[in-house]
Amino acid sequence: MARHIADQPRKGVEGARLAPYLDAERREGEAPHPAVRELHRRPTTRDPANPRAQEFLKIDRGRPG
């Protein structure tokens, strides 16, 4: 029994669609944008006096209230 036409691999389409993305990635390089790097370096601060946020965090972590 022959494979359905939708199950057949298409030839040449993947390279044509992927090429612009690969070119953009090569131009950008491997390193993230400087603004992204700065955001990752920024320390995370949480206000311990905010009980509502603490309750949401407990729920999110699966702990009973």
31-53: pLDDT as tens digits: 777 888 888 888 777 677 778 88
Task: State pTM to two decimals.
Answer: 0.28
d(C-alpha 65, C-alpha 54), whole Å: 10
Banded model confidence at residue 60, pLDDT cuts 50, 70, 90: confident
CA angle 22, 25, 31 (to 5 degrees): 155
Would you state the pLDDT for residue 40? 82
